[in-house]
Amino acid sequence: MPIACGQTISQPYVVAYMTEQLGLRPHHRVLEVGTGSGYQAAVLSRLAREVVSIERYRTLAGKARERLASLGYDNVEVVAGDGFAGMPEKAPYDRIIVTAAAEEVPQALVDQLADDGVMLLPLGPHGGAQHIVKLTKSQTGVTRDNLIAVRFVPLLPGQAQEL
């Protein structure tokens, strides 16, 4: 479904599927890349201790921040910024979820993932076949599992100039 700034909100099934694949626990800290309307962040906030959500569009970040606060989601911090960079000052994260498609795994996000952490992201060419990929980080490296086929808006670097 379209929202402001040419972005979309994921189907409820995809939100539920990705949330389930994260294997969230009440003590987890989660980084979400791509706040959008705040829908996924609201779901995550009820399953994890803390959610930090990054949105490249200031308009979407501001509206989501207001919406989540007015609904009592007090363990979500929404920031406007570059999703590729993540929020290293608050790392490590137990779980990272990216809600826009990357053509390659962003190394900066992998670096912010805690040992035994899980990252989910749509991976594949923009406008082409994409799959949700599950990355699990351990002391010996990162393992990758390809999950379901999807189509997401592209993950773009930087903070958008659009309001």
Whether 163 has a pLDDT exceeding 60, the answer reads no
How would residue 158 be classed by pLDDT, with cut points 50, 70 and 90? confident
Chain segment 18-31, per-residue pLDDT in tens: 999 999 999 999 99
For the question of residue 45 being annotated catalytic, the response is no
Q: Is 3 helix (H, G, I), strand (E, B) or coil?
A: coil
Lowest mean pLDDT among 120-124, 127-131, 146-150, 159-163: 159-163
Looking at residue 130, its pLDDT comes to 95
The overall pTM is greater than 0.85: yes
How would residue 156 be classed by pLDDT, with cut points 50, 70 and 90? confident
- Which residue among 10, 37, 45, 53 is the active-site one? 10
DSSP secondary structure letters along 23-89: T--TT-EEEEE--TTSHHHHHHHTTSSEEEEEES-HHHHHHHHHHHHHTT-TTEEEEES-TTT--GG
Which secondary structure element, helix H or strand E, spans residue 104, and what is its range?
A: none
The amino acid at 60? L
Chain segment 22-65, per-residue pLDDT in tens: 999 999 999 999 999 999 999 999 999 999 999 999 999 999 99
